[in-house]
Amino acid sequence: MTPKQHADCPESEALTPAALVRTEAAALEALASRLEGPMASAFDRAVELILNCGTCNGRVVVTGMGKSGIIAQKIAATLSSTGSPALFLHPAEAVHGDLGVLMPGDVVIALSASGETEEILRLLATLKRKGDALISFCCNLSSTLATASDVVLDCGVEREACGMNLAPTASTTAMLALGDALAVAVSLRKGFRPEDFAELHPGGKLGKRLASVRDLMHAGEGIPVVSPATPMTDVIYEMSSKKLGMTTVQESGRLVGVISDGDLRRLLEHEGGAALSKTAGEAMNPHPRTIAVGELAARALSILEERKITSLIVVDQDQHVEGVLHLHDLWGMELI
């Protein structure tokens, strides 16, 4: 759609903040309706093109000029963070050598409201020759860019959220939402998991929230371990030396029980000095709480809080012990 003239919308209505937001919201509602209707097949085709380029080690190259270029950078970042390698190509720099980043197998997403952005049109011949496919986000479906594209996705808006109906506002919002929808749809088709997301976001609070049990657990020599026949004096020594306030009880590497500080205190209260004559097998809790190595730290914290315990034993499917996760290990993760 082409923008309406300023006279079509009274200035007082256009300049009301609430009206401006509603204008952008209306653009998103219209976009959603197109995705459910006439644009559904084109969107699915765009998803397929990105999925196919990934299978042959291709990347998604996103380009745009001006405000559309800023949106293009965000779309490239979202694609990369959800498992689809992507990069931003500045169209003005591209004609001065940056086109060298484009490789066979790459899919190009070009953003241009008018579809006639001069800097992008200069690239069309090379994009079509070197890239695997061209997807465009356009408001003008009869434009040069739209006509040259393998898939064109309609970002048209009734009007921009601007008193003069000129500044890219509603149209760039529609482009942004469409890029998000495309990136998420591709990630869902790939079966992208929270664990995959965590690997791509190791820093900051988000990375901490998505840390896995594997990243935090005590493993190898750090695991306190005794056998069922171990005397309680040796059990106490193992618990003290490993400083986790507990010990696993294992047979041939498989978990058969656990003894915690709390278990030891209760045993002493009940048995007195006779408690020290018992073995680990007689004193242990034979039903300890366990967790898999690939679970998220947030899930581990939920179990610890729910059960009011301080440790989880990390085991594989055959109950072989792989590690111990302690509540103290979560303190520095900003999860508590």
Binding site listing for Zn(2+): 90
Amino acid at 171: S
Q: From the CB of residue 71, how many other CB atoms can be counted at a distance below 10 Å?
A: 25
Residue 289 bridge partners (DSSP): none
β pairing state of 311-315 and 321-326: antiparallel
Residue 89 has, within 13 A of its CA and on its CB side, a CA count of 28
Point out the annotated binding site: 90
190 contacts 85 by C-beta, under 8 angstroms = no
- The dihedral over CA atoms of 188, 191, 192, 195, expressed in degrees to the nearest 10, equals 140
259 contacts 309 by C-beta, under 8 angstroms = no
Name the nearest CA neighbour of 315 among 213, 222, 230: 213
Q: From the CB of residue 193, how many other CB atoms can be counted at a distance below 10 Å?
A: 12
What is the 8-class DSSP label of residue 291? E
> What is the maximum span of the chain, computed from C-alpha positions, in angstroms?
94
246 contacts 239 by C-beta, under 8 angstroms = yes
Amino acid at 330: L
What is the torsional sign of CA 140, 141, 142, 146? positive
275 contacts 307 by C-beta, under 8 angstroms = no
Pairwise CA distance, residues 213 & 191, whole Å? 21
